[in-house]
Amino acid sequence: MHKLSFRQIHLDFHTSEHIEGIGCDFDKTRYQKTLSEARVDSVTTFATCHHGWAYYPSRVGPVHPHLKFDLLRAQYDACKEIGIKVPVYLTAGVNNRAATAHPEWRQSGPDGKLTGWAASNIEAGFFYMCFNTGYLDFLCDQLREVVSLFPDNDGIFLDIISQPECVCHACISSMHKRGLDPLLREDRQTHSRYVLEKYYRETTAAVRSIRPDTPVFHNSGHITRGDRKILEFFSHLELESLPTGGWGYDHFPISAKYCANLPHDVLGMTGKFHTTWGEFGGIKHPNALRYECAQMLAVGAKCSVGDQLHPRGMLDPTTYRVIGEAYREVEVKEPWCKDVRQVSDIGVISCGAVNPGSSRDPAADIGAGRILLEGQFLFDVLDAETDFRGRKALLLPDEVRVDDALKARIDDFLAEGGKLILSGSSGLNSNQDGFLWDIGAEYRGVSPFQPDYVLPEEGFRPDFVQSPVVMYLPSQRIRVTGGCSLGDIYEPYFNRSYRHFSSHQHAPNRPEPGGYAAGVMTGSILYFAHPVFSNYRAYGAVVYRQFITLALRRFLEGRETVRSNLPSTARLHLNRQDSENRHVLHLLYANTILRGGTTRMEGGNIRSTQAIEVVEELMPLRNTTLDVRLPVSIRRVSLEPEGVDIPFDTVPGGISFRVESFTCHQMISLEHGL
């Protein structure tokens, strides 16, 4: 496994040919001092950019017209002199200079129009390149050149890796040769997968033809769940996830909890920007970056912060003061974060990993992740190939399609004493007319009503609820035959239409239950009749989360590894560090708030805006109580990196203790007894 550094910078340098003086203010001593003071230990540095320019004396591609020296070499040597690693960046999926010189290399969408981040050739933006053209040969030549010139590099980072359905002339010809019809979407998708696999194979081979052990990462802004075939071409994983850039604060931990089960070291990538990439002069509050880096450490990842070098070659001093605040904290925490494995009670089988043609981030996956994060459950995200053993329960959120192979693996899990959580259409057979397992209820089809209402039974009902609660997405109709009902479904008087509607939205519920259950719980299976996780993703109602978490806790029968009194805005993660004979518990707390809003902006270089989730103040959280049940005895509990012992009580099956106060992030070492 390629081991990553903890405190990295991803130093963007996408620079227009209309800007002069490229790198003219680069000063090696100042560059080194800035990085050293910020405690940076690796800088991903640009060989080429999205505009298509090289920043070294390339014989393959064009050098930026206003660059008078080897900027990449200057940055590279400056870092290497002081022990900072240098992975090298090359643009791949977009390249405007190549697109202009070779328009036949550009991607064409299914409608025959050229594609890219810009809608046309007279709009600002970058153009997509097709990997099924001569462009792939050009890119491989660049890769061989860069690795030859910088043979002791610390990795190659290739960016914007995608091959959507393309109908350029090369792809049409290639499809015809393979007996595929360019007019059929399925055939276009089949061909796109073929081309993308060719890209991975040939670019990785080009890099390693010069140095076989060169680390390689192919960035598409997302690690595709369930697509393990391509991972042989990756030395490690970098999870691009800028909370303020549209990803939000819960995207990264959910993504990382999938990648933690893969045989790769993992790097989290945030940005210093208030918004997203390319924002000169934008800077987030230092507390936000402290929290984001702490979140990466808590899920067992290393840290990377995205920045953009000024065209004249100067690192921004404000940026590196902010980064330094976070990275000085990361540095002292590293001993408790090396070579760790996450501990999980619930394995979430991802819709995105097992459903053919699923979207990149299905609502069910996001909603399930948020429910479990806010409820402080220990969980990870799985695909169909993950070893299910070691977890207490498997969760199939809302719409997981179960084939024969997956069913057999889940059956084995249940036979070994595991539990199963289902919701919505998850668990239905291929005919969609019954369940694959005996859930303790008869199946009666999909409700015709949207929305309907739920009144949970006592024990599953939030303490502020006494009447039916609206559930916006349609339920599966079940009648309980065994086990425990989660509550009654109440139907509306009618669906809203021009023929009959009531008030501003949906019709109210009828006064009597409709005869169907909101879910059912047996000894081994918990089933929610609604797609409750998609519902939570869409609406975020507290009542939904409390209903679900009350059911989960009752179903798990107090067997959770960790129980706490943390609020829903806090996060809890537990890692095992076998080399140090300890577990490390991470507590996180930040007050995120939406600021800004949707505003149409025009003119100059600005874009229209949307609300941004911001962290500013970090408030202390007091009197956190924790019950921990591990299969090992604990001899010492301490706050780290402070090294302060805290008292604990031995309770049946584990220990109990209290953390008087922490701010932002607290690590708690649980040292094993002999």
pLDDT at 597 over 90: no
Q: Give the pLDDT confidence of 395-431 residue by residue, as tens digits.
A: 999 999 999 999 999 999 999 999 999 999 999 999 9
Q: Give the pLDDT confidence of 207-236 residue by residue, as tens digits.
A: 999 999 999 999 998 788 888 999 999 999
Beta strand residue intervals within 139-191, DSSP E: 156-159
pLDDT band at 602 (very low <50, low <70, confident <90, very high): low
Average pLDDT, the chain: 95
Residue-level pLDDT at 603 = 62
pLDDT at 604 over 60: no
d(Cα 588, Cα 547) in Å, to the nearest integer? 24
Half-sphere exposure of 218 (CA within 13 A, CB side): 22
d(Cα 557, Cα 637) in Å, to the nearest integer? 26
Cα 435 from chain centroid (whole Å): 31
pLDDT band at 607 (very low <50, low <70, confident <90, very high): low
Q: Nearest 5 degrees, angle CA 287-CA 583-CA 387?
A: 105
Three state DSSP letters for 402-444? CCHHHHHHHHHHHHCCCEEEEECCCCECCCCCCECCCCCEEEE
Of 474, 448, 491, the C-alpha closest to 528 is 474
Contact (CB, 8 A) for 339 and 577: yes
Average of pLDDT values for 73-86? 98
d(Cα 532, Cα 515) in Å, to the nearest integer? 19
Distances (CA, A) of 420 to 162, 404, 435, 437, 538: 35, 16, 13, 10, 24
Residue-level pLDDT at 613 = 86
Half-sphere exposure of 638 (CA within 13 A, CB side): 12
Q: Are strands 419-423 and 525-528 parallel, antiparallel or unpaired?
A: parallel
Contact (CB, 8 A) for 248 and 185: no
pLDDT at 640 over 90: yes
Beta strand residue intervals within 63-159, DSSP E: 88-91, 156-159
pLDDT at 575 over 70: yes
Average of pLDDT values for 304-316? 97
Average of pLDDT values for 605-613? 71
Contact (CB, 8 A) for 172 and 180: no
Helix (H, G, I), strand (E, B) or coil at 297: helix
d(Cα 626, Cα 218) in Å, to the nearest integer? 40
Contact (CB, 8 A) for 344 and 377: no
Cα 660 from chain centroid (whole Å): 32
d(Cα 643, Cα 634) in Å, to the nearest integer? 16
Q: Give the pLDDT confidence of 426-474 residue by residue, as tens digits.
A: 999 999 999 999 999 999 999 999 999 999 999 999 999 999 999 999 9
**Can you list the domains of the chain with their CATH numbers?**
7-339 (3.20.20.80), 344-560 (3.40.50.880), 563-672 (2.60.40.1180)
Beta strand residue intervals within 128-202, DSSP E: 156-159
Average of pLDDT values for 187-206? 97
Cβ-count burial of 464 within 10 angstroms (0-12 exposed, 13-18 middle, 19+ buried)? exposed
Contact (CB, 8 A) for 571 and 253: yes
Average of pLDDT values for 269-291? 94
d(Cα 503, Cα 206) in Å, to the nearest integer? 65
d(Cα 125, Cα 116) in Å, to the nearest integer? 7
Q: To the nearest whole percent, how much of the chain has pLDDT over 70?
A: 98
- H/E stretch holding 354 reads helix 351-354
Q: Nearest 5 degrees, angle CA 486-CA 489-CA 490?
A: 150
d(Cα 663, Cα 658) in Å, to the nearest integer? 15
Cα 554 from chain centroid (whole Å): 29
Beta strand residue intervals within 26-170, DSSP E: 42-46, 88-91, 156-159
Rounded CA Rg of the chain: 27
At a CB cut-off of 8 Å and minimum separation 6, what does 3 contact? 265
Q: 435 forms bridges with which residues in the sheet? A: 428
Residue-level pLDDT at 118 = 84
pLDDT at 557 over 70: yes
Residues in the chain: 674
Of 233, 242, 388, 297, the C-alpha closest to 6 is 297
d(Cα 378, Cα 16) in Å, to the nearest integer? 46
Per the structure block, which two tokens stand in for 604? 């100059």
For residue 596, report the phi and psi dihedrals to the nearest 5 degrees. 75, -165
Average of pLDDT values for 663-668? 98
Q: Work out the number of other CB atoms within 10 angstroms of the CB of residue 160.
A: 18
Q: Starting at the earlier edge strand, list the strands of the sheet with 452-456.
A: 469-471, 452-456, 487-490
Residue-level pLDDT at 606 = 62
For residue 99, report the phi and psi dihedrals to the nearest 5 degrees. -65, -35
Average of pLDDT values for 304-318? 97
Average of pLDDT values for 617-624? 96
pLDDT band at 570 (very low <50, low <70, confident <90, very high): very high
pLDDT band at 651 (very low <50, low <70, confident <90, very high): very high
d(Cα 343, Cα 346) in Å, to the nearest integer? 9
d(Cα 57, Cα 72) in Å, to the nearest integer? 9
Contact (CB, 8 A) for 664 and 618: yes
pLDDT at 323 over 70: yes
Q: Work out the number of other CB atoms within 10 angstroms of the CB of residue 396.
A: 28
Average of pLDDT values for 257-265? 95
Q: Give the pLDDT confidence of 486-511 residue by residue, as tens digits.
A: 999 999 998 989 999 889 999 899 99
d(Cα 219, Cα 470) in Å, to the nearest integer? 41
Residue-level pLDDT at 121 = 87
At a CB cut-off of 8 Å and minimum separation 6, what does 438 contact? 522, 525
Cα 343 from chain centroid (whole Å): 18
